[in-house]
């Protein structure tokens, strides 16, 4: 985890409202209850991140998550949330509260992305088009859905996957472009004109290399997506 923190501290490119999302490192200001501000503006609403508290020169810890709720020209308002990325029931949780001057990394883990694409050609195009992003293989998500006996993915399934695999974004590739959805807020925080290939020819329910994702043995319902783009655009809007 420390290597992720160091990498993002060094990577301070501003987030773009349109395009491949990036990270930005800043400081926490005026924390009050569940709200605070950061001295950076122009950040898309819904961008999430972490708060890092330094106990001394060599000891740091993640003490909270944040999501951007409002952004102006020079500052942004954020909501403070419990950090769940490293939950371990057998270990005590960190009791430190976010403080003035703590480091805030917006776009934390935005280089780790779950790609939801219609077919292999689209996945290959995504890897070519976004070389700076680590796209985990959709097979890993298909395995999790199979364990849950869930043939179609829902928002809760994406959230569980993001937490388990330490992901920052879900990427949906459509016929007219690509959307990047923040794992925590489930808000679109970036987009690209990189489009899918042969979208009408897609693997159910997204590209993966398994024959099928099974449902529970007592469930005889037919789970089938008729239109890839329509199904996942609707899922993007789920709150």
Residue 222 is predicted with a pLDDT of 67
* The last residue of a domain, from among 58, 75, 106: 106
Share the mean pLDDT of the chain: 88
Looking at residue 43, which CATH number applies to its domain?
Answer: 2.40.10.410
* Lowest pLDDT segment from 10-14, 74-78, 168-172, 235-239: 10-14
pLDDT of residue 223: 73
Residue that is last in its domain, among 106, 132, 153: 106
Mean pLDDT of 13-25: 62
85/121 same-domain check: no
Confidence of residue 2 (pLDDT cuts 50, 70, 90): very low
**Pair (94, 126) in one structural domain:** no
* 39 and 137 belong to one structural domain: no
pLDDT, one tens digit per residue, over 61-98 is 999 999 999 999 999 999 999 998 766 555 667 789 99
Q: State what percent of residues in the chain have pLDDT above 90.
A: 77
Q: What pLDDT, on a 0 to 100 scale, did the predictor assign at position 224? A: 86
Same domain, 118 and 231: yes
96 and 155 in a common domain: no
Predicted local confidence at residue 178, as pLDDT: 96
More confident residue, 239 or 148: 148
Same domain, 220 and 125: yes
72, 151: one domain: no
Q: Give bridge partners of residue 222 from the DSSP assignment.
A: none
Domains contained in the chain, number: 2
Q: Are 68 and 136 in the same domain?
A: no
Shared-domain flag, residues 99 and 132: no
CA atoms within 13 A on the CB side of 177: 10
Same domain, 225 and 166: yes
Instruction: Please tell me the least confidently modeled range out of 42-56, 99-113, 209-223.
Output: 209-223
Of 104, 232, 128, 231, nearest in space to 180 by CA: 232
Sheet holding 134-135, edge to edge: 134-135, 112-116, 169-174, 177-182, 188-192
d(CA 37, CA 29): 5
Q: What is the pLDDT of residue 6?
A: 39
Q: Give the range of the structural domain holding residue 220, as residue numbers without chain letter.
A: 112-236
Q: Which of 106, 133, 158 is the last residue of a domain?
A: 106
Question: Is the domain of 122 the same as that of 180?
Answer: yes
Indicate whether 219 and 121 sit together in one domain: yes
Tokens of 21: 């999302």
Query: Taking the CA atoms of the chain, what radius of gyration do you get in angstroms?
Result: 19
Q: What is the mean pLDDT of residues 137-160?
A: 95
């Amino acid at each position: 985890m420390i290597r992720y923190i160091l990498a993002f501290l060094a990577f301070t490119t501003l987030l773009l409202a349109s395009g491949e999302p990036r990270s930005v490192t800043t400081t926490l200001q005026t924390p009050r209850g569940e709200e605070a501000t950061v001295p950076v503006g122009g950040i898309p609403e819904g961008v999430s991140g972490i708060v890092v508290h330094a106990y001394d020169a060599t000891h740091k810890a993640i003490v909270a998550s944040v999501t951007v709720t409002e952004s102006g020209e020079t500052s942004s308002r954020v909501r403070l949330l419990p950090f769940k990325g490293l939950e371990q029931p057998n270990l005590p949780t960190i009791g430190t509260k976010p403080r003035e001057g703590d480091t805030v990394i917006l776009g934390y883990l935005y280089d780790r992305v779950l790609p939801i694409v219609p077919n292999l050609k689209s996945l290959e195009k995504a890897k070519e088009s976004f070389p700076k992003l680590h796209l985990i293989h959709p097979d890993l998500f298909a395995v999790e859905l199979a364990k849950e006996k869930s043939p179609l993915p829902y928002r809760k399934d994406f959230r569980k996957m993001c937490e388990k695999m330490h992901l920052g974004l879900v990427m949906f590739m459509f016929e007219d472009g690509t959307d990047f959805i923040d794992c925590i807020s489930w808000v679109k925080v970036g987009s690209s004109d990189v489009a899918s290939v042969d979208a009408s020819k897609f693997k159910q329910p997204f590209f993966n290399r398994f024959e099928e994702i099974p449902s529970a043995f007592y469930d005889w319902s037919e789970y089938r997506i008729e239109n890839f783009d329509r199904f996942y655009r609707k899922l993007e809007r789920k709150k």
